Amino acid sequence: MTRWSYLPHTSQDRLAMLETIGVAGVEELFADIPQEVRLRRPLRLPPPLSEMELREHLQTLAMKDRDYEQTLCFLGAGAYDHYIPSVVGHIVGRSEFLTAYTQYQPEIAQGYLQALWEYQSLICLLTGMEMAVTSLYDGATAMAEAAMMACGITGRNEVLVSRTVHPHWRDVLATYARDRAMKILTVDYLDGVSNLTELSRLVNDNTAAVICQTPNFFGCLEDLRGIGDIAQKQGALMIAAVNPISLGVLEAPGALGADIVIGEGQSMGLPLSFGGPYIGFLATRDKWLRRTPGRIVGQTVDQDGTRGFVLTIQAREQHIRRDKATSNICSNEALCSLAVAVYLCALGKQGLRQVAELCLQKAHYARRTITQLPGFSPVFDQPLFNEFVVRCPISPREINEELQEAGVVAGLDLGRYYPELAGCMLTAVTEKRTREEIDLLAGLLKEVSA
């Protein structure tokens, strides 16, 4: 018998069903919903369509959208259009990886555990830290987890975060802090970087951590060593959020005194994908091993001396009592971790450096070209990596609307997040953007602003 034959097809069937469960009418099923919030009219829906008509309608809607591969994209702000080597898709698309989920019986998942162990090792090499964890949702939640970790380590409850940190990430931090007795204070910026004078004034003996981002949301490079010195003199930890591609040319934050390094791994082998799934990474010192969130894959040997891999330090709510857990992370990010590991292995140390150098050089060329246009001017005078802010003669929103027909996204309107930067646009350049594309953008900007 087919499953749908159990459904009530006629009014008599429905009445019989209601009688069986002891309900006089359908209205009784909604008795708990207050009358004032109930909809008192039919839903305003179009008439039903046949399969052929529905397919044509959906195709018409789809034609109104452009994906990033059909667009000349200069939009960054935390998600970047980098080239993904084909080997990444080939490896992560294999059935033994693609269909796997959490390794609840880790001893029979040696291949995946080794891949995650390699991922952790690569993150340590990249950040200059001693250990790294797996399974963090994205950069924003990694930052919130790092803040909670710092509060647990120091026994303090106050966290200072720079306004140059991604505003979405700061929103997530505030959400996590709301029910955890964490106090979040914001440090303002000066010429595009954290105001160290204000930071020195705000840090005190109740500060658990200072959070900064470099390159920051404006694309400017922060003084990690200076920020770390200010924080650590008061016994606070320094949490550094980084763009991992920038570490191909910049010194590792671990060498600059960072206590915890976090970031978003999307730029390392993951497509833009409407905002996810992405992967956050978190690396720190060995001495805080038992304070870390997520999970850790360890290397060991079995009774015969053969190398093997195990899940260890699983201080999550699924594994121990909730009041003892260091994190409530549940979903497994192993497939994204694998993509990152394959990407980094495919590029190697020299390849990552070349990608970073291309981003750096092309971004400087774009900034120089755009700021030479009439009405466009640089906003900050700071070293940058692959993003920069320019003041525009017309609204950035209007610029993007005008350039939409040409299939170009020029950048992000910063006035949405920073009212004092109304009329300013954040533009990103990756290794995929050619000189011709940058010149095309400059020509279009000149045309629409004239």
What does each of the 450 residues of the chain score in pLDDT, given as a tens digit? 344 444 555 678 778 888 888 888 888 888 899 989 988 888 999 899 999 999 999 999 988 887 777 889 999 999 999 999 999 999 999 988 888 766 666 667 888 889 999 999 999 999 999 999 987 899 999 999 999 999 999 999 999 999 999 999 999 999 999 988 899 999 999 999 999 999 999 999 999 999 999 999 999 999 999 999 999 999 999 999 999 999 999 999 999 999 999 999 999 999 998 878 899 999 999 999 888 887 888 899 988 999 999 888 765 555 556 666 667 666 678 899 999 999 999 999 999 999 999 999 999 999 999 999 999 999 999 999 999 999 999 999 999 999 988 999 999 999 999 999 999 999 999 999 999 999 999 999 999 988
Residues 403 and 313 in one domain: no
Q: Which of 171, 168, 238, 235 is nearest to 209 (CA)?
A: 238
Measured CA to CA, the distance from residue 326 to residue 324 in angstroms comes to: 7
> What DSSP letter does each residue of 374-408 carry, written as one string?
TT-EES--S-BSSEEEEE-SS-HHHHHHHHGGGTE
**Any domain includes 6:** no
Helix 396-403, helix 435-449: angle, nearest 10 = 110
Query: Are residues 159 and 191 located together in one domain of the fold?
Result: yes
pLDDT of residue 276: 82
Same domain for 336 and 200: yes
pLDDT value for 5: 46
Q: Which of 310, 343, 376 is the last residue of a domain?
A: 343
Straight-line distance from the first to the last Cα atom of the chain, in angstroms, rounded to the nearest whole number: 70
Q: What is the pTM of this model?
A: 0.86
Residue 62 lies in a domain: no
Degrees to nearest 5, angle at CA 391 with 386 and 396: 85
> Residue 402 is encoded by which pair of tokens?
């005008």
Query: How many folded domains does the chain comprise?
Result: 2
Q: Does 292 lie in the same domain as 193?
A: yes
3 vs 23: CA distance, rounded Å: 24
Rounded CA Rg of the chain: 26
CA 223, CA 193: separation in Å to the nearest integer?
8
Q: What does the block give as tokens for 313?
A: 């330090």
Q: Which amino acid is at 244?
A: P
pLDDT at position 97: 86
| Kind and range of the H or E run holding 186 | strand 183-187
- Residue 258 sits in which domain range? 86-343
Report the SS3 class of residue 212.
strand
Domain shared by 236 and 371, yes or no:
no
